[in-house]
Amino acid sequence: MLDPKDFKKHSDPVVAWIDHYLNDITKFPVKARVAPGEIYKTIPQEAPLFPEAMEKIMEDLDNTILPGITHWQHPGFHAYFPANSSVESVLAECITSAIGAQCMIWDTSPAAAELEQRMVEWLRDAMGIPSDFEGVIQDSASSASLVALITAREVATGFRSNEEGVPNNLRIYCSTETHSSIEKAVGVCGIGKRNLVKVETDTRMQMDPSLLGKAIKQDLERGMKPCAVVATLGTTGTLAVDPLKEIAALCKKHGIWLHVDAAYAGTALLLSEYRWMIEGIEEVDSFVFNPHKWMFTNFDCSVYFVKDAPLLIKTFEVLPEYLKTKSRGRVNDYRDWSVPLGRRFRALKLWFVIRSYGLEGIREKLREHIRLSNFFVETLTSVEGLVMPVEPFLNFSCFRLQPDGITDPVRLNPLNEAFLEEINRSGELYLTHTKIDGFYTIRMIIGQTYVGQKHVELALERIKKAALSILNKFGQNG
Ligand SMILES: *Cc1c(COP(=O)(O)O)cnc(C)c1O
């Protein structure tokens, strides 16, 4: 049991550990190489009855835990979407954990509530989101989208669903490329997955607004009630951007709640050259993006903007006696802005990151990642036997092996699965895949905070080598 008086003594080795971790991260294989159950087996079956030394705990951290960690901050991490961080954010998280405040209402830490309010305003204004939007920090885009759909549900039913339960005629619309969190939310909020309409997409995998219009019309004719449309800016598979302006016009015409899921690509709105993505924002009701993905802020930190905050509060407000305060009504009690009561002090890390980088510093990094991605794409297009099936966007691109004349996914998919395995085998890189029109396709995202030219050059070299090796084997086996 440690005494706060000895904090410095005990934190020194931990700080040294973090310093080593951040600076020597490339010595680890990006993706953990353990078998299922391997770590679990090495952790004792029973909790210790008596104190153990910190030295021993730190030793086990290295020996038992670290081998089972996938290193998301490794510059060779190009999988999924990044959950990047920064030195600033790590430091702020340390302070947040020392303060250990539970920021459910204004009274439980006024600075947390007021800093949160200011941070979401800073981001709103820097991203070109209209000033009538208010914001709140949530744990994840999944939670924020759930909150959006529940609010839309209450609005569509005159605030009766919370009391009486959900009628079975509400309809939600999204595209076939929409993130799985929407399907989950539609189930959780009681609207029911069979009331989720997945609209087909065009050749760049963006929602086709004419098909959305048809689906809404059909539902109205059948006596169903269109409740919400979810538009995605930057889909998970291929970073497709749904045409917001056309979708917004349809929502306006029919009085439908419009939620925007910009979890990943929303960060790009900090760059004025990507503001076209939010043409139509005036008609949007709610919007989520994750600073914990591409804005150098540790997971978790998801920013949810809403145009009519009173509707949100009316949906989630509960007021047991022990939470009644004198300040109520004059301040933001954020527990009424989402599902959980308890809330971490997440605004502090945003404050550290935004101030230490400055908005221009953040923009510079984003542009550098996009430049690196363009360089990657330019170099890779010249590789024989490789195709890039959809247009790259921001810092995303995707590619697959498609040797001359072969167009059958039954033959190509195993080849590309082997290709991805070969790319990841060295431990220097970690990429993941998606399916595009049934074709196994490898995704490349360049978004780790400290990734640079030399890392991308190394990635290109490894990918080219893996392509050659797989194509050679393929040629030999016919
Ligand atoms: C990552 C992502 C999500 C899920 O984000 P969480 O914060 O992990 O819930 C949802 N939608 C899109 C488009 C995403 O990229």
pLDDT tens column, 115-155: 999 999 999 999 999 999 999 999 999 999 999 999 999 99
How is residue 268 written in tokens? 């790009």
> What would the pLDDT profile of 277-330 be if each residue is shown by its tens digit?
999 999 999 999 999 999 999 999 999 999 999 999 999 998 878 777 878 788
Give me the DSSP letters along 181-248: HHHHHHHHTTS-GGGEEEE-B-TTS-B-HHHHHHHHHHHHHTT-EEEEEEEEBS-TTT--B--HHHHH
> What would the pLDDT profile of 432-471 be if each residue is shown by its tens digit?
999 999 999 999 999 999 999 999 999 999 999 999 999 9
The predicted pLDDT at position 321 comes to 80
Residues with Cβ < 8 Å from 263, sequence gap 6 or more? 81, 141, 179, 234, 288, 289, 290, 293, 302
How many C-beta atoms lie closer than 10 Å to residue 7's C-beta? Answer: 11
Half-sphere exposure for 72 (CA within 13 Å, toward CB): 14
Candidate from 181, 292, 299 with most ligand 1 atoms within 8 A of CB, to mutate? 181
The predicted pLDDT at position 322 comes to 76
Tell me where in the chain the CATH 3.40.640.10 domain(s) lie: 101-344
The predicted pLDDT at position 478 comes to 55
Q: What type of residue sits at position 291?
A: P
Cα–Cα distance list, 221 to 215, 216, 249, 411, 476 (Å): 10, 9, 20, 45, 59
Q: Nearest to residue 303, comparing CAs of 311, 314, 315, 294?
A: 294
User: 261 in ligand 1 pocket by Cβ < 6 Å?
Assistant: yes
Give mean pLDDT, residues 14-31. Answer: 97
CA–centroid distance, residue 140 to ligand 1 (Å): 7
The predicted pLDDT at position 329 comes to 80
CA–centroid distance, residue 142 to ligand 1 (Å): 6
β-bridge mates for residue 226, sequence order: 171
Q: What type of residue sits at position 201?
A: T
Domain covering 1-31+70-85+360-478 assigned CATH 3.90.1150.170 in the classification: yes
User: 353 in ligand 1 pocket by Cβ < 6 Å?
Assistant: no
Q: How far apart are CA 341 and CA 102, in angstroms?
A: 9
Give mean pLDDT, residues 38-61. Answer: 97
pLDDT greater than 90 at residue 476: no
Q: Which fold has domain 101-344?
A: Aspartate Aminotransferase; domain 2 (3.40.640)
Q: How far apart are CA 334 and CA 115, in angstroms?
A: 12
Report CA 453 to chain centroid distance, whole Å: 24
The predicted pLDDT at position 477 comes to 67
User: 242 in ligand 1 pocket by Cβ < 6 Å?
Assistant: no
Element housing 397 (H / E): strand 396-401
Tell me where in the chain the CATH 3.90.1150.170 domain(s) lie: 1-31+70-85+360-478
